[in-house]
Amino acid sequence: MTSEITLASERVYEGRVVNLRVDAVRMADGRVVKREVVEHGVVVVIAALDRDGNVILVRQERTPIGKELWELPAGGVDDGEDPAAAASRELREETGFDAGRIQRLGGFYSSPGFCNEYLHLFLATDLHLSPLAQDTDESIEVTAMPLEGALKMVENEDINDAKTMIGLLMLSQQVAGSK
DSSP for 25-71 reads EE-TTS-EEEEEEEEE--EEEEEEB-TTSEEEEEEEEETTTTEEEEE
At residue 68, the pLDDT reads 96
User: Is the pLDDT score of 1 beyond 70?
Assistant: no
CATH topology for 41-177 is: Nucleoside Triphosphate Pyrophosphohydrolase (3.90.79)
User: Is the pLDDT score of 166 beyond 90?
Assistant: yes
At residue 3, the pLDDT reads 87
For the stretch 46-92, pLDDT in tens is 999 999 999 999 999 999 999 999 999 999 999 999 999 999 999 99
Q: Where are the domains of the chain?
A: 5-39, 41-177
The pLDDT of 33-50, averaged and rounded, is 97
Q: Report d(CA 160, CA 142) in Å as an integer.
A: 17
For the stretch 97-148, pLDDT in tens is 999 999 999 999 999 999 999 999 999 999 999 877 666 676 889 999 999 9
As a whole number of Å, the CA-based R_g of the chain is 18
At residue 136, the pLDDT reads 66
